[in-house]
């Protein structure tokens, strides 16, 4: 650039010098055969060439100045992009660490939620049993008897109680359920302050949560032996190979009758449904579960948003790095 301007300056001086010579000889009368005439013509041609060269150098100087400005702006832009890349890399690292932290929190929340949702734990799968239906002294309360009981010694006592298997004894329990043996299971309610059975209801009042619903069953009203109201599933199950009619503790669906149960008016002799309810730590458990569910959902949405943002920023970084490499090569 400096050399070009020096050449331009020199050419301007030469042109000025030649113009001065031509001006000095302008008033002279020169013959065509005069040697000075040929020199003047050559000098004139040289001056025209020099003027054209000067014009080209001026255009070149303008072009180079424009190019320098463009390259300076591009260098500044590349430097800015480099700073942006560094900032994006730092932000990417921070967001990656945040996602790892959110994923850890999510796992902890999901585990806590799973622990709270595990409310019932089955302790024992067994057989339904109780006293014989016609024995006046039988126990009113049925029990669950394990499949593999640990038996004591043989007793020869003349006075004893007894226990029999439990049977469905009405078609109301389902087709082909007559005389089928009844299975049962012992369960433990987790995180509950109280559990109650409410006959005649299939829904819960505010503050309580449904654990189970079914139909109310008991012994026949005309049987000699006492019995208890128990909760049976709508779709009862049976024990394999237990279809023989052995009587024992027989179950019947419970029907309601009007009269003192005036709340059941116009529903005489209809089967009674029921619901098992629990009051979970004065609503604190249910509230905590809902909060956990909401928090888990928010964390999941945040993780998705952060992942999408990181993907976009990764693409931006790649594009900027490509532009930076292209600028360096240029």
* DSSP character string of 224-264: SS----EEE-SS----TT--S---SEEEEE-B--SSS-GGG
Q: Which of 193, 230, 205, 225 is nearest to 215 (CA)?
A: 230
In whole angstroms, how large is the CA radius of gyration of the chain?
51
Q: Strands, E, within 104-244: which ranges?
A: 120-130, 143-146, 164-168, 183-189, 194-199, 209-218, 230-232
Q: Contact 317/85 with Cβ under 8 angstroms? A: yes
Q: What is the pLDDT of residue 281?
A: 44
Answer yes or no: is 29 within a domain.
Answer: no
Determine the pLDDT at residue 212: 77
Instruction: Give, to the nearest 10 degrees, the angle between helix 35-117 and helix 284-329.
Output: 160
With 0-12 CB in 10 A as exposed, 13-18 as middle and 19+ as buried, what is 312? Answer: exposed
- The C-alpha atoms of residue 330 and residue 273 are separated, in whole angstroms, by 84
Q: Is residue 306 in some structural domain?
A: no
Number of domains in the chain: 1
Count Cα neighbours of 64 within 13 Å in the Cβ-side half-sphere. 11
- Is residue 225 included in any domain, yes or no? yes
pLDDT of residue 282: 42
Q: Residue 132 and residue 249: Cα distance in Å, rounded? A: 5
Q: What share of the chain is helix, strand, coil (3-state, %, to 5)?
A: 50, 20, 35
* pLDDT (0 to 100) of residue 236: 83
- How far is residue 38's CA from residue 196's CA, in Å, rounded to a whole number? 131
Q: Is residue 237 part of a domain?
A: yes
For residue 200, give its domain range: 121-147+161-279
- Asked if residue 74 is part of any domain, the answer here is no
* pLDDT per residue of the chain (330 residues) written in tens, 0 to 9: 545 555 555 555 655 555 555 555 555 555 555 566 566 667 677 777 777 777 777 787 777 778 778 777 877 777 787 787 777 778 778 877 877 777 787 777 777 666 655 544 455 567 888 999 999 988 888 988 887 778 777 777 677 788 888 998 988 888 788 888 888 877 766 666 677 777 777 777 777 777 778 888 899 989 999 999 888 888 888 876 667 788 889 999 888 776 666 654 455 555 566 666 555 444 455 555 566 667 667 767 776 776 777 777 677 777 776 766 766 665
**Does any domain span residue 196?**
yes
Cα four-point dihedral sign 264, 196, 221, 175: positive
Q: Kindly state whether residue 59 falls inside one of the protein's structural domains.
A: no
Residue 172: which residues within 8 A CB-CB, separation 6 or more?
A: 252, 253, 271
Question: Which residues are within 8 A (CB) of 111 and not within 5 positions of it... i.e. 6 or more apart?
Answer: none
Contacts of 194 (CB under 8 A, 6+ apart): 278, 279
**195, part of any domain:** yes
């Amino acid at each position: 650039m400096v050399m070009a301007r020096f050449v331009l300056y020199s050419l301007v001086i030469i042109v000025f010098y030649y113009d001065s010579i031509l001006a000095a000889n302008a008033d002279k009368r020169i013959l065509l055969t005069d040697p000075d005439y040929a020199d003047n013509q050559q000098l004139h041609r040289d001056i025209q060439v020099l003027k054209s060269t000067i014009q080209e150098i001026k255009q070149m100087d303008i072009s180079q100045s424009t190019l320098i400005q463009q390259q300076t702006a591009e260098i500044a832009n590349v430097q800015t992009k480099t700073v942006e890349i560094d900032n994006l890399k730092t932000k990417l690292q921070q967001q990656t660490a945040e996602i790892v932290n959110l994923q850890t929190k999510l796992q902890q929340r999901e585990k806590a939620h799973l622990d709270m949702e595990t409310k019932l734990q089955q302790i024992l799968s067994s057989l339904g049993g109780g006293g014989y239906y016609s024995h006046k002294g039988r126990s009113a309360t049925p029990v669950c008897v394990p499949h593999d009981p640990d038996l004591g010694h043989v007793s020869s006592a003349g006075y004893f109680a007894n226990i029999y298997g439990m049977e469905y004894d009405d078609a109301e329990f389902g087709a082909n359920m007559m005389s089928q043996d009844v299975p049962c299971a012992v369960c433990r309610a987790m995180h509950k302050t109280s559990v109650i059975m409410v006959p005649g209801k299939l829904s819960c009042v505010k503050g309580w949560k449904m654990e189970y619903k079914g139909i109310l069953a008991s012994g026949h009203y005309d049987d000699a032996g006492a019995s208890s109201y128990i909760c049976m599933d709508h779709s009862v199950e049976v024990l394999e190979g237990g279809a023989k009619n052995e009587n024992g503790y027989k179950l019947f669906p419970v029907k309601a009758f009007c009269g003192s149960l005036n709340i059941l008016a116009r529903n005489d002799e209809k089967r009674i449904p029921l619901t098992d309810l629990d009051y979970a730590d004065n609503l604190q458990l249910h509230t905590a579960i809902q909060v956990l569910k909401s928090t888990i959902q928010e964390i999941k949405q945040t993780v998705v948003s952060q992942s999408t943002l990181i993907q976009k920023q990764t693409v931006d970084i790649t594009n900027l790095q490509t532009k930076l490499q292209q600028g360096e090569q240029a």
